[in-house]
Amino acid sequence: MNNFICRKKSYDSVGSLSYLAWRKFIKDKLAVFSLFVVLLAILMAILGYLITPDSTPFANDQHVELAAKNLGFSVKMLSVRKNQLEDNTSFLKKIINGKKSDYSDYPLYSWHFEGAYIVIEELTGDTPNDGLVKKFNLADILYPLKDNKNITVKNGKLFFEDISGIKHEVYISELQRKVENENINKKTFYLGTDRYGRDMVSQLIIGTRVSLSVGFISVIISLLIGILLGSLAGFFRGWVDNLIVWFINVVWSIPTLLLVIAITFALGKGFWQVFVAVGLTMWVDVARVLRGQIFSIREKEFVEAGRALGFRNFRIIFRHILPNVMGPVIVISAANFASAILMEAGLSFLGIGVQPPMPSWGTMIKEHYAYIILDSAHLAILPGIAIMIMVLAFMLIGNGLRDALDTRSVNR
């Protein structure tokens, strides 16, 4: 009994290889910090429109009057109710696609009330301001009206009917107070606005979703193709290996970016096409490394034992060989993730990747690179920094995984 307890303690003190690899990984402070950065980016991408200041689809609420404003720019906005039924988008759909706003916002330079109306001058940022002067009925600001021309004033009250057929009778003074308290709000653009007057924070957050999605799905596609072809070539050898190696060399000889551009032209421009185009060019590294790993392990005793027990070849490959050679594949996948983010940004910058109005870090740089020599260089620098941080994080994670999964040092 004592001997059993001693053996158990000895095993627990050593632990499994996975535990040892994890323990070695968390000692790498840069890799752990990079993992935290990636997890934070993933959380932001998942929450998406729930945390963006602009929750409209593609964060595309444009205010041309507020184009290219500096960091921390603030302005008061008048929110005018649209004359349509409320958009009852479900919670899940709002996370995925955003929600159309029930209000139209107008940046304010000045305003004042004239009885049943509010008169505003829109902000332009110029000196003098010289903005458009607009006049809104108070009822039209607060309610979705069936007919905004059918509003009557009597004894200091407004009489009108909303889009649902409900008739209202409200004092003008009460409407003025409600508009001033609820519909005139201060809005701050913490990272400024882009050339179309859209909120940069929202654009960067939704751009995170695009970059991580392209990276994740592209890596999945590359793993599916690379693992399949690399396993077949390494295990069966012979003519199967020769054919697959020839195919790998053909793909390898074509410059990656040119191949991606060719595939993109064949499939068309768009969000999903980028996934496929990038994924179809990244499987070569996975296949080459996996082929070499299986070459060195296919003659081991446990493989021969599987053959002797009558196991099918595919069971031996996927149940017994692959779990023992996935370390290098995991490291390559981290590097491929970083490459996919760079490639997507490059394609979007060239105009053949993600198409507007969907925000992408590459598209944001393309639209604003001319501002680098002006006083709004942050419009191009911010998405560039986002790309740099994300790529660096995945590369550091890959380096940490490489060291942690090194079987020669896993017991150190």
In a domain, 161, yes or no: yes
In this structure, are 104 and 247 located in the same domain? Answer: no
Q: What CATH number is given to the structural domain containing 361? A: 1.10.3720.10
CA dist., res. 273 & res. 284, Å (int): 19
Poorest-confidence range of 109-113, 250-254, 394-398? 250-254
Asked whether the predicted pLDDT for residue 117 surpasses 90, the reply is yes
Residue 148: its pLDDT value, please? 75
Residues 208 and 101 in one domain: no
Does the residue 105 lie in any domain? yes
pLDDT, tens digit (0-9, with 9 covering 90-100), for 21-66: 888 889 999 999 999 999 999 999 999 999 999 999 999 999 988 9
| Cα 49 to Cα 94: distance, rounded to the nearest angstrom | 7
- For residue 6, is pLDDT > 50? no
User: Which pTM value belongs to this model?
Assistant: 0.86
Mean pLDDT, range 266-292, rounded to an integer: 85
pLDDT at residue 410 is higher than 50: no
Cis peptide before 357 (omega within 30 of 0): yes
Residue 234 lies in a domain: yes
Residue 282 falls inside a structural domain: yes
255 and 378 in a common domain? yes
Do 215 and 319 belong to one domain? yes
Q: Which of 136, 154, 189 is the last residue of a domain?
A: 189
Residue 5 lies in a domain: no
Most confident of 14-28, 109-123, 144-158, 311-325: 109-123
Q: Please report which confidence band the pLDDT of residue 113 belongs to, taking 50, 70 and 90 as the band edges.
A: very high
- pLDDT tens track for 366-407: 999 989 888 889 999 999 999 999 999 999 999 998 888 775
Residues 292 and 220 occupy one common structural domain: yes
Range of the domain at 344: 15-42+201-404
pLDDT of residue 189: 95
Query: 160, 189, 218 — which closes off a domain?
Result: 189
Inside any domain, residue 54: no
The answer on 209 and 182 residing in a single domain is no
Q: Give the pLDDT confidence score for residue 75 in this predicted structure.
A: 94
Q: Are residues 171 and 314 in the same domain?
A: no
Residue 223 in contact with residue 333, Cβ under 8 Å?
Answer: yes
Query: Is the predicted pLDDT of residue 317 greater than 50, yes or no?
Result: yes
Mean pLDDT of 137-166: 87
Residue 8 resides in a domain:
no
Q: Are residues 207 and 286 in the same domain?
A: yes
Between 359 and 318, the more confident residue is 359
CA distances from 369 to 205, 239, 351 (A): 19, 51, 14
Task: Evaluate whether residue 20 is within a structural domain.
Answer: yes
Which pLDDT score is estimated for 176? 93
Residue 217 DSSP label: H
Q: Which helix (H) or strand (E) holds 117?
A: strand 117-122
28 shares its domain with 86: no
Q: Provide the pLDDT for residue 325.
A: 84
State yes or no: pLDDT of 14 exceeds 50: no
The pair phi, psi for residue 228, each rounded to 5°, is: -65, -55
Task: Find out whether 221 and 279 touch, Cβ atoms under 8 Å.
Answer: yes
Q: How many distinct structural domains can be found in the chain?
A: 2
29 and 81 part of one domain = no
Give CA–CA dist 349/357, Å, rounded: 14
Same domain, 371 and 230: yes
> What is the residue-averaged pLDDT of the chain?
87
376 plus 316 within the same structural domain: yes
Residue ending a domain, among 144, 163, 189, is 189
Asked if residue 84 has pLDDT above 50, the reply is yes
Nearest in space to 218 (alpha carbons), one of 343, 327, 38:
343
